């Protein structure tokens, strides 16, 4: 094995693609191809990065403060009127070695773009920055030869191809050889909004007591209807408490069963407000302030029988589409990226293919378990069961520790 760097092609600049580029740039020459522009798919709604993701990101020069992450200190559940049912504090850092961070999706992507493309000296890491090519679609893939075809007809060859083109991946069948396996709707719809403290003050005169750090205590708050309608509203702070995310979950209307839309599709604010008009009126008033509403009919996908073929590997939603009910989708993508540390400079083509198969053998069973647990999360489970699932999710310590567990 020589010390020559591998030429790595990453397809997609979402969370999975940029996390992969952040890991691979230290030892290889990395080019990321993105079909959109720099602002493509950067919705400002909230998400959670759990300790299994945060532990990995911190080793790549990730700055939680720069990303506006708010450390979560536990969960609170309420009835739909806003009356406290249970307060469940969790010391994430003490239990898992890192915080759980609540942040805007766009801020996470921006920080991953920085860790992928900033200078090594700025990040305190090795290697040259990844190159990101925007407005360039990859329309075909030969996984055995590690060749991609761009929309202009040109062909690019690499030593390895990382396919991170998302939930509706057009290149997935090139690896699975199955055109039929694709994400399916779960019967649930999610409205997502992010509201700024400034806008709420202007519209309502002041912030609710639970908005401030002292009143909120950095909890992830969940209101449940408990009236047979299966409606749930979750809210939590973002960006140093300057914003707040609201996720409103309800059964999907039957007239949308055959509609395919983006995770970033615009939602109907009036429809959202009507569906949650009997919830806590203070929260309902804050929802009415929203200037941008996104919605998505939740989808997941049956586990794939393989993620790799030749010298190409699926990662992120392209490999393991799951709903956000455990908040683990992005964290699984970050774990996928960490597994790429097994790709070493100077590997032969045969060694690369073997390494991708090795990654598949670790990552695919774990992601499958998280998917099954996420499906179970939509049902009634005990607190003990939820904590067991959280321990499984957050206790992951990276690919090398996972490999030790297989020995």
Sequential pLDDT tens for the chain (407 residues): 557 999 999 999 999 999 999 999 999 999 999 999 987 755 668 999 999 999 999 999 999 999 999 999 999 999 999 999 999 999 999 999 999 999 999 999 999 999 999 999 999 999 999 999 999 999 999 999 999 999 999 999 999 999 999 999 999 999 999 999 999 999 999 999 999 999 999 999 999 999 988 888 999 999 999 999 999 999 999 999 999 999 999 999 876 665 555 556 788 999 999 999 999 999 999 999 999 999 899 999 999 999 999 999 999 999 999 999 999 999 999 999 999 999 999 999 999 999 999 999 999 999 999 999 999 876 666 778 888 999 999 999 999 999 987 76
Give the burial string for 110-141 (b: 16+ CB within 10 Å, else e).
bbbbbbbbbeeeebebebebbebeeebebeeb
Q: What is the pLDDT of residue 99?
A: 98
Cβ-based neighbour number of residue 275 at 10 Å:
20
User: Rounded distance, CA 145 to CA 150, Å?
Assistant: 15
The pLDDT of residue 73: 96
How far apart CA 200 and CA 244 sit, in angstroms, is 10
Tell me the C-alpha distance between 198 and 107, whole Å: 18
| Domain 186-299 listed as CATH 3.30.1550.10 | no
Q: Which residue has the tokens 């939590």?
A: 236
Rg of the chain over CA atoms, in angstroms? 21
The CATH 3.30.9.30 portion of the chain extends over 186-299
DSSP tag of 66: T
CATH assignment, 7-64+100-182+301-406: 3.50.50.60
The Cα–Cα gap between 72 and 295 comes to 24
Compute the distance between CA of residue 77 and CA of residue 74 in angstroms, rounded to an integer: 10
CB < 8 Å & 24+ apart, contacts of 209-214: 211/237, 211/241, 211/244, 212/241, 213/237, 213/241
pLDDT at 8: 98
For residue 2, the model assigns a pLDDT of 58
For residue 342, list its beta bridge partners.
Answer: none
Query: Residues of CATH 3.50.50.60 domain(s) within the chain?
Result: 7-64+100-182+301-406
Enter the pTM of the model. Answer: 0.95
- Rounded CA-CA distance 284/286 in Å is 5
């Amino acid at each position: 094995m020589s010390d020559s760097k591998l030429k790595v092609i990453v397809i997609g600049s979402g969370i999975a693609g940029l996390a992969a580029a952040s890991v691979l740039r230290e030892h290889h020459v990395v080019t990321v191809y993105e079909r959109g522009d720099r602002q493509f798919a950067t919705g400002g709604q909230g998400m959670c990065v759990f300790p299994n993701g945060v532990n990995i990101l911190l080793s790549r020069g990730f700055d939680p403060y720069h990303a506006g992450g708010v450390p979560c200190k536990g969960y609170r559940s309420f009835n739909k009127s806003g009356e406290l049912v249970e307060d469940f504090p969790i010391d994430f850092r003490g239990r898992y070695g890192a915080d759980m961070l609540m942040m805007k999706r766009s801020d996470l992507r921006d920080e991953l773009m920085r860790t992928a493309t900033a200078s090594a000296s700025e990040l305190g890491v090795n290697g040259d920055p990844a190159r990101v090519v925007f407005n360039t679609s990859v329309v075909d893939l030969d996984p055995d030869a590690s060749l991609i075809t761009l929309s202009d007809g040109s062909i690019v060859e690499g030593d390895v191809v990382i396919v991170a083109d998302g939930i509706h991946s057009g290149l997935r069948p090139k690896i699975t050889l199955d055109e039929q396996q694709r994400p399916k709707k779960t019967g649930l719809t999610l409205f997502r909004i992010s509201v700024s403290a400034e806008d709420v003050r202007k519209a309502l005169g002041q912030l609710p007591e639970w908005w401030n750090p002292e009143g909120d205590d950095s909890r992830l708050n969940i209101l449940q209807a408990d009236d047979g309608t299966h409606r749930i509203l979750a809210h939590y702070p973002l960006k140093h408490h300057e914003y707040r995310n609201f996720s409103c979950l309800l059964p999907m209307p039957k007239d949308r069963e055959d509609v395919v839309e983006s995770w970033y599709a615009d939602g109907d604010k009036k429809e959202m407000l009507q569906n949650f008009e009997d919830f806590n009126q203070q929260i309902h008033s804050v929802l009415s302030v929203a200037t941008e509403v996104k919605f998505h009919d939740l989808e997941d996908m049956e586990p794939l029988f393989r993620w790799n073929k030749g010298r190409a590997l699926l990662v992120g939603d392209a490999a393991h589409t799951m709903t956000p009910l455990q908040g683990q989708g992005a964290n699984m993508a970050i774990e996928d990226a960490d597994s790429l540390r097994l790709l070493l400079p100077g590997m032969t083509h045969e060694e690369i293919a073997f390494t991708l198969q090795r990654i598949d053998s670790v990552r695919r069973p774990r992601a499958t378990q998280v998917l099954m647990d996420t499906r179970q999360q939509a049902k009634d489970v005990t607190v003990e069961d939820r904590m067991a699932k959280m321990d499984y999710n957050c206790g992951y310590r990276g690919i090398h520790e996972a490999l030790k567990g297989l020995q």
